[in-house]
Structure 1
């Protein structure tokens, strides 16, 4: 995790520099709504730490730190391009007796959402674009060894207190290690967030996934049920931070998938 900690320290150092003489021009509740919206006009860097219990045949914990920078670009003509990357750093337990744990970088994902710029607060928000997965894993157990691509689509509805919607992706492998399994992978990330007050919000955490290469339906789907409490803070002489902590349970899962997962996330919010 040495490289991961260096990245984290660098991001916090940048946050200190950005915080000097700048401010976020959104009310706290509006800022919460933007954090729940993956295609919001907001620069952010979430650090998402997830621990999965009883993973693999040895039923030992697996940890993943996802670093997920988001950078929106105004394209003009009422459209924006929301660039989002996912850099996973994982610690994977042995899958057979005597196999050592490995820790390192996984496959990096890029998502680009073309979204119309909202003309008013609330209402229907949507976006679409490509998703690319690069075989950057430092160990075979941390990635799939395949170049992957596919479409992504997002739609959500905002009200005064709620954000409800979903983010759907589908990727197929098209190149990479010929000895590795082909990829045909679906995911649905439900977006459900309730703003309790300007500081606190409650939301769903988890992603429904489907591996179409699995012929047995019992091994194909993962359907989690999870919730997290978020707290928005604005430290003096620093960028705003959003802290989130929650727990989830995989109600439907493959035989070697973990039952429970615990998640902690801190999001740095930068002025644009």
Structure 2
């Protein structure tokens, strides 16, 4: 009887911890799925660091830390507004000239996506995007206020997320001595997430300056994972950056990306 009772206790304890493990995996998988969706109803604070080397004539380097908070807001029974801000903090060497250094804030882009709360097949969102001239160095800002449309569409199935995000910005005010802005940004993305919360994927970042007819393209493969630091849910991601196209004299030899995302699930 005693032996059977011990076996029963052991079985209960084993089942309890197994359930906790499965719940943690399910939780991580669900968070990873939401993070693969740029307009998911999830408050997050991504810190994306890009470091690039061998840029241009003077073999320069650039480090860009993008601070990218995402806050969803319910604006109706069936509609969310997902607000996103990208604020770059930049330090660069030997870009504008040999021995030259610039550092400070770059111009920010603020987007608001209006998205249905219940999308059956395709998840989508559309709204306005704003270019905010908050750059603190003449080489890091266009000194123009701009606006335009932005949109995102994606599909999630069997662990896969496939989609694309795009915006177009035109300057409408600002320093008259600076060139006008007409710039398109397109970002196709593809991610596969396992039930553990680990993910493998990447995106293509294509920026087109219509005024100067200059094209910049980056390919960013990443490996990611969701974990906990105490009670704080966090996603980590890392991968190389491949500069496929750039204006004359501005192409980088290579780079890398590291991301930390602080998650605040409801």
Bucket of the pairwise TM-score, normalised by the shorter protein = 0.7 to 0.9
Structure 1 CA distance for aligned equivalents of residues 149 and 254 of structure 2 = 29
Structure in which a larger fraction of residues adopt strand = 2
Name the counterpart of 1:155: 153
Q: Does 1:246 align with 2:239?
A: yes
Of stretches 91-100 and 77-86 in structure 1, the one that deviates more from structure 2 is 91-100
Q: Is the 8 A contact 1:105 1:142 kept in 2?
A: yes
- How does 1:216-255 map onto structure 2 within 5 Å? 220-236=214-230, 238-255=231-248
Q: Is the 8 A contact 2:110 2:129 kept in 1?
A: yes
Structure 2 CA distance for aligned equivalents of residues 152 and 98 of structure 1 = 37
Mark the CA change 1:59 to 1:71 in structure 2 (over 3 Å): closer, same or farther: same
- How does 1:176-255 map onto structure 2 within 5 Å? 176-215=174-213, 220-236=214-230, 238-255=231-248
Q: Is the 8 A contact 1:226 1:246 kept in 2?
A: yes
Structure of larger gyration radius = 2
Structure 2 CA distance for aligned equivalents of residues 225 and 39 of structure 1 = 22
Name the counterpart of 1:172: 170
**Unmatched 5+ stretches in structure 1:** 1-23
TM-score by length of 2: 0.86
Secondary structure of the corresponding residue to residue 31 of structure 2: helix
Q: Does 1:265 align with 2:263?
A: no
TM-score by length of 1: 0.84
Mark the CA change 1:89 to 1:58 in structure 2 (over 3 Å): closer, same or farther: same
Deviations 1:135-158 (A, max 9, x none): 111111111111011000100001
Q: Does 1:27 align with 2:27?
A: yes
Secondary structure of the corresponding residue to residue 199 of structure 1: coil
Q: Does 1:57 align with 2:51?
A: no
